[in-house]
Amino acid sequence: MRHQRNPDASSAAPDVRFPNVRGRQPWRVTIRHIATAIAIAAASGQAAETTAPASPLAIVASRDGGKLFVACATRGEVAVLDSAGNLTQTLKVPGSPSGLAVSPDGTRMAITCAAPQSTVCIVDLARLEIVARLPAGHSTFAPVFSSDGRTLYACNRFNHEVAVFDLNARKQVARIAVEREPIAAALTPDGRLLFVANHLHNGPASAEQVAAGVSVIDTGTRRVVKTIRLPNGSGLLLGVAITPDGRHAAITHNLSRFNLPTTQVERGWMNTAALTLIDVAKLGVINTVLLDNVESGAANPWAAAFTADAKRLLITHAGTHELSVIDYPALVAKLSQLPDALAAGQTPDYTRVSNVRADVPNDLAFLVGLRQRIKLNGNGPRSLAISGETAWVPGYFSDSIDKVDLSAPGCRPESIAVGPRVPMSAIRRGEMAFNDATLCFQTWQSCATCHSYDARVDALNWDLLNDGIGSPKNAKSLLWSHRTPPAMSTGVRDRAETAVRSGIRYILFAVLPPEIPSALDAYLGSLMPAPSPYLEKGALSKSALRGKQLFEDTAVGCAKCHPPGLFTDLQSYDVGTRQRADGAGTNFDTPTLVELWRSGPFLHDGSAATIRDVFRPHNRQDKHGATSQLTEQQIDDLATYVLSL
Ligand code: HEC
Ligand code: HEC
């Protein structure tokens, strides 16, 4: 059900007006739609004033290396810098620029402008003028040109699909379904295969194996030829790079040890930062290497890129504000020396962790001697560009770019400002803290390492200790946490403010000045729901309207506990979902249903991969609303309705 698509999502024209509110109660308009309209307007750059921060999210160099283009996500513009880093021009775009690509011949640039109805802008680089505006889907990222420059691929993150545009005809010609929230993509040099990183997995979180995957698309047939599953615990994929010879793909992601109780954070006990290498010919994982060191995490790895000579692989760490520079041939050589298993009678070398291939994903020393960790001046590096021997790394929160001289590894990077300096609001300081792993003991993780960079979910279960050991809970979206006390699925925290402070203490293992939790409260309290991809032109679909009637029908009973507005009555109940591990008498806090379309899997233990699963097979005793009498069609309608909220 989750992947049911809104057929209008990517064909409709970009629209930043008030969403159509037909079929909704007027007072709900005041609560949600004003907020949504402001969010959309801000994202589209309409309400953005010159005082808005830049938030450089993507960067690309021109083919000749003479210019840099920087996507300023919260300013609705792309900045143009000369090769010395001076700002020379800016280009306004319709939406929040989320990705940039330059065509193979260097004459054009594609800009994905993310919004509920995104636009892909094609820019003539000689004139720096938008020559085409192509309507795209919900929150579009990662534009990629085909080798001949005639086709463009882009990820419609919340439609779970890759869109294909014919650039001569200037229209979308295909949509290819992938797994969940595609967010980064790269093409092999021969143009044959597109590697797409799915940000999250889409199964239940209570399974033994829980990992996101990489969808590989054959550009000739426009089909997914394989989804390559990463190792257990892989999630929050954000970067893809392919070696210049096209033999390997490199994927950056978290590797979570979600099956261990969260008693400590040392040595990657909870989360590790990982790089998975894929053999392009075999479409299989070569191995997964940890980017951390034994006593310092390299949290929240994001962008990856190879130098043109394939000698170095560069990775940004958005949590620790660092750039990893990896000796790639040496890494490949070291990996290939390891056997699958020890020979009969051979004793392992106890002075090292990795004796066989399977040891590598647990080896915090594997990269020692092969990698340099460069401390950046900026904060929150999410992207990078390489031109010649220079790496350019924008800091999302510092509105600056670090210029790193790759030929002089010992040199401190130079810092360049992106536009005027803007004073930081408490909300932005909170967002920065949320993503900042340097606040954590030994920089192992930040709040974003489990709640993702936008304070929603990693879709994993975690055995936090606040409700005893041995009862894992699915990570919750933090949207509206501050409006819907108590907090946590069992309500053990009286309100979100308390949960924020416990998170700092028991998850980051840190003591921080009180301004930081206050800023986190301000940020989390400011989060706005994004419109559901299940809406059709901003309104409930026919199926959702039928579902709404059932939802509000007292015989079914949903609205009693999930009353419209907050969609929770803030009370706890036993709705028949209790597991043995939860302990007798445990009730669950009724969650809000707003933005359910992006917070799966569902229920406190993440056992329901889809809304349908919440009611079939769960809810046999009709404790969770009266659903056993409903037809399959009615269950689908109910699901479509709650997924539209
Ligand atoms: C190791 C993963 C992990 C990290 C890191 C993490 N959280 Fe959470 N968080 C969770 C899980 C899992 C839940 C749901 C627990 C439950 O339902 O009992 C949760 C729940 C919450 C809630 C309650 C939400 C609600 O509406 O009930 C808040 C607030 C919260 N986290 C804030 C934070 C903050 C702030 C940080 C950083 C200081 C943080 N979290 C770091 C895993 C994490
Ligand atoms: C008696 C109160 C009550 C009624 C009636 C009720 N719910 Fe719930 N709902 C809850 C509680 C409590 C939970 C959390 C259960 C858990 O996490 O194990 C929940 C969870 C959910 C979830 C999963 C949300 C998530 O984020 O994981 C969905 C979807 C949902 N309810 C929809 C409905 C629908 C649709 C109906 C009507 C058929 C309904 N509920 C009736 C109390 C109720």
pLDDT band for position 24 (cuts 50, 70, 90): very low
Residue pair 70/81 in contact by the 8 Å Cβ criterion: yes
Q: Ligand 1 pocket test: which of 436, 484, 488, 592 has the largest number of ligand atoms within 8 Å of its C-beta?
A: 488
Provide the pLDDT for residue 617. Answer: 81
H or E element at residue 635: helix 632-643
Q: Is 339 exposed, middle or buried (0-12, 13-18, 19+ CB in 10 A)?
A: exposed
> For the chain, how many helices (H) and strands (E)?
11, 32
Ligand that lies nearest to the alpha carbon of residue 262, given by its number in the listed order: 1
pLDDT band for position 4 (cuts 50, 70, 90): very low
- Residue 30 pLDDT greater than 60, yes or no: no
Atom of ligand 2 nearest to the CA of 619: 38
Ligand that lies nearest to the alpha carbon of residue 589, given by its number in the listed order: 2
**Rounded Cα distance, 478 and 4, in Å:** 24
Ligand that lies nearest to the alpha carbon of residue 490, given by its number in the listed order: 1
Provide the pLDDT for residue 3. Answer: 41
pTM above 0.75, yes or no: yes
104 Cα–ligand 2 center, Å: 51
Nearest CA owner, ligand 2 atom 32: 558
Better-predicted residue by pLDDT, 22 or 388: 388
500 Cα–ligand 1 center, Å: 8
Ligand that lies nearest to the alpha carbon of residue 299, given by its number in the listed order: 1
Q: How far apart are the first and last CA of the chain?
A: 15
Atom of ligand 2 nearest to the CA of 476: 26
The string of pLDDT tens digits covering residues 102-142 is: 999 999 999 999 999 999 999 999 999 999 999 999 999 99
- Residue 39 pLDDT greater than 70, yes or no: no
What average pLDDT does range 252-279 have in this prediction?
93
Ligand that lies nearest to the alpha carbon of residue 563, given by its number in the listed order: 2
Residue pair 132/94 in contact by the 8 Å Cβ criterion: no
Q: Ligand 1 pocket test: which of 432, 452, 464 has the largest number of ligand atoms within 8 Å of its C-beta?
A: 464
Amino acid at 520: L
Nearest CA owner, ligand 1 atom 16: 488
Atom of ligand 1 nearest to the CA of 490: 18
% of the chain residues with pLDDT over 90:
83
H or E element at residue 386: strand 385-387
Output b/e per residue, 413-428; b: 16+ Cβ within 10 A.
Answer: beebebbeebebebbb
Amino acid at 111: I
180 Cα–ligand 1 center, Å: 22
The string of pLDDT tens digits covering residues 68-80 is: 999 999 999 999 9
548 Cα–ligand 2 center, Å: 15
- Alpha-carbon separation of residue 269 from 259, 431, 577 (angstroms): 10, 25, 29
Provide the pLDDT for residue 21. Answer: 29
Residues 6+ away with beta carbon under 8 Å from 89:
79, 80, 128
% of the chain residues with pLDDT over 70:
92
Residue 477 Cβ contacting ligand 1 at under 6 Å: no
Residue pair 95/114 in contact by the 8 Å Cβ criterion: yes
Q: Which residues line ligand 2 (CB under 6 A)?
A: 489, 551, 556-558, 560-562, 573, 575, 577, 588, 590-591, 593, 596, 599, 602-604, 611, 614, 624-625, 627, 638, 642
Neighbours of 103 (CB within 10 A): 20
Residue 488 Cβ contacting ligand 1 at under 6 Å: yes
Q: Where are the alpha helices (DSSP H) in 228-374?
A: 328-337
pLDDT band for position 50 (cuts 50, 70, 90): low
Q: Is 573 exposed, middle or buried (0-12, 13-18, 19+ CB in 10 A)?
A: middle
Residue 445 Cβ contacting ligand 1 at under 6 Å: yes
- Alpha-carbon separation of residue 156 from 141, 182, 219, 251 (angstroms): 7, 7, 17, 19
- 89-93, 195-199, 203-207, 416-420: range with lowest mean pLDDT: 416-420
pLDDT band for position 381 (cuts 50, 70, 90): very high
484 Cα–ligand 1 center, Å: 14
Ligand that lies nearest to the alpha carbon of residue 479, given by its number in the listed order: 1
Residue pair 224/217 in contact by the 8 Å Cβ criterion: yes
Atom of ligand 2 nearest to the CA of 577: 18
State residue 549 phi and psi, 5-degree precision. Answer: -65, -45
Residues 6+ away with beta carbon under 8 Å from 452:
199, 200, 236, 458
- Residue 9 pLDDT greater than 60, yes or no: no
258 Cα–ligand 2 center, Å: 25
Residue 449 Cβ contacting ligand 1 at under 6 Å: yes
- How confident is the prediction for the chain on average, in pLDDT? 91
| Token pair recorded at residue 296 | 């310092």
- 11-15, 111-115, 343-347, 506-510: range with lowest mean pLDDT: 11-15
Provide the pLDDT for residue 18. Answer: 27
Residue 481 Cβ contacting ligand 1 at under 6 Å: yes
**Rounded Cα distance, 282 and 215, in Å:** 14
Q: Ligand 2 pocket test: which of 575, 614, 637 has the largest number of ligand atoms within 8 Å of its C-beta?
A: 575
Atom of ligand 1 nearest to the CA of 270: 1
Nearest CA owner, ligand 1 atom 43: 450
- Residue 17 pLDDT greater than 60, yes or no: no
598 Cα–ligand 2 center, Å: 16
Ligand that lies nearest to the alpha carbon of residue 590, given by its number in the listed order: 2
